[in-house]
Amino acid sequence: MALKDRVQDLLGQVRDMKAANAEELEALRIKYLSKKGEITALFNEFRNVPPEEKRELGQLLNQLRQQAEGKINEMRELVESQKAKAERLDLTRTPDPIELGTRHPLSLVREEIIDIFSRIGFTVAEGPEVEDDKHVYGMLNFAPEHPARDMQDTFFIEKEIGEQKPTDVLLRSHTSSVQTRVMTSQKPPIRVLCPGRVYRNEAISARAHCFFHQVEGLYIDKNVSFADLKEALLYFAKEMFGPETQIRLRPSYFPFTEPSAEMDISCDLCGGKGCSFCKGTGWVEILGCGMVDPNVLEACGIDSKVYTGYAFGMGVERIANLKYRVKDLRLFSENDVRFLRQFESC
């Protein structure tokens, strides 16, 4: 076959080239454009072409090489785009449309509480949910006969070790255990928030559950006063529930604080006038607080003659109930999509 005819034949082959993957594409490149490829071989034969034919054949050969290189590059771009698309394809994905979710209402409230207190210097501290009696009760000034140690309130864990069955391992009933761990591992000043899940042996109902979530705060430094506690909690209440919110502190009792108080906020439904939500009082309870008892400071290795501090604790579910008007506590843990969809815009 004459050289010109072979060039025309290769032009037709180049136009019809197809490659399904990178391996086939590379095989075509080697076949036509490598040092031993067919187009390169034609250029080698071109040296022996008579002078009067070189112009026409030279133009055809250049056209052949340009078309081959262009077609190879075009197919390379197509193969690479298909490869990238295939890498993005998740073959484990369900064929049904996937709806976008949202954060759980308890997570929304928890993060908002953390954000508010972080603006006044609090950092987050976390600890284990399976704890010992020492950190949950002993270092927090709970007397050995305190009713909270009873099985009716606390989930104790029995673990056999030889012939002994220790009963000082339990599921924490409050996140104050994190505070004792922080106080024994850090030197004042201490300013931490302790969010987490806690457990109590209670009957499940619309107003109680065997597990729930808390956020507790602790601030220890020199010259910390009850006035500091009040200002911090007033700031929180206004940021969480609105600038018109008022607070009141009522005397109470907790083993780990002295003096102790319960904090109420003004009912935002009735503006403090009294309604069914606040039971006609104009106030709604949201948390407990107080000055850290000196016995707790000493138990954690902190000199109570040099340092003072305050602590507070609130239930995340309680704050979520007030914020979103959720009346049944069980809704937070039942994963009912109809309930959770109400918070998609939050």
Q: Say if residue 204 is in the same domain as residue 148.
A: yes
Q: Identify the residue whose tokens are 């484990």.
A: 92
**Mean pLDDT rounded to a whole number for the chain:** 86
- pLDDT digit string (tens) for 167-180? 688 899 999 999 99
Q: 117 in a domain, yes or no?
A: yes
pLDDT of amino acid 181: 96
In the structure, what pLDDT confidence band is assigned to residue 119 with cuts at 50, 70 and 90? very high
In the structure, what pLDDT confidence band is assigned to residue 201 with cuts at 50, 70 and 90? confident
pLDDT beyond 90 at 140: yes
Q: 96 in a domain, yes or no?
A: no
Q: 93 in a domain, yes or no?
A: no
Q: What is the CATH number of the domain that holds 246?
A: 3.30.930.10
Entry pTM? 0.68
Q: 98 in a domain, yes or no?
A: no
> Total structural domains in the chain?
2
Which of 52-56, 243-247, 285-289 comes out lowest in average pLDDT?
52-56
pLDDT beyond 80 at 238: yes
Angle between helices 22-33 and 3-15 (to 10 degrees): 170
pLDDT of amino acid 345: 67
Q: Say if residue 65 is in the same domain as residue 126.
A: no
Q: Say if residue 147 is in the same domain as residue 267.
A: yes
pLDDT beyond 80 at 346: no
Q: 95 in a domain, yes or no?
A: no
pLDDT beyond 90 at 103: no
Q: Would the CA dihedral through 3, 8, 11, 13 be positive or negative?
A: negative
Domain boundary among 88, 123, 147: 88
Which of 147-151, 152-156, 227-231 comes out lowest in average pLDDT?
147-151
Question: Which range marks the domain in which residue 27 is found?
Answer: 3-88
- pLDDT digit string (tens) for 265-309? 998 777 777 777 778 888 999 999 999 999 999 999 999 999 999
Q: Say if residue 144 is in the same domain as residue 261.
A: yes
Q: Say if residue 131 is in the same domain as residue 230.
A: yes
pLDDT beyond 70 at 160: no
Q: Say if residue 177 is in the same domain as residue 271.
A: yes
**SS (HEC) of the chain:** CCHHHHHHHHHHHHHCCCCCCHHHHHHHHHHHHCCCCHHHHHHHHHHHCCHHHHHHHHHHHHHHHHHHHHHHHHHHHHHHHHHHHHHHCCCCCCCCCCCCCCCCHHHHHHHHHHHHHHCCCCEECCCCCEEEHHHHCHHHCCCCCCHHHCCCCCCEECCCECCECCCCEEECCCCHHHHHHHHHHCCCCEEEEEEEEEECCCCCCCCCCCEEEEEEEEEEECCCCHHHHHHHHHHHHHHHHCCCCCEEEEEEEECCEEEEEEEEEECCCCCCCCCCCCCCCCEEEEEEEEEECHHHHHHCCCCCCCCEEEEEEEEHHHHHHHHHCCCCHHHHHCCCHHHHHHHCCC
Q: 112 in a domain, yes or no?
A: yes
Contact 190, 221 (CB under 8 A): yes
Q: 73 in a domain, yes or no?
A: yes
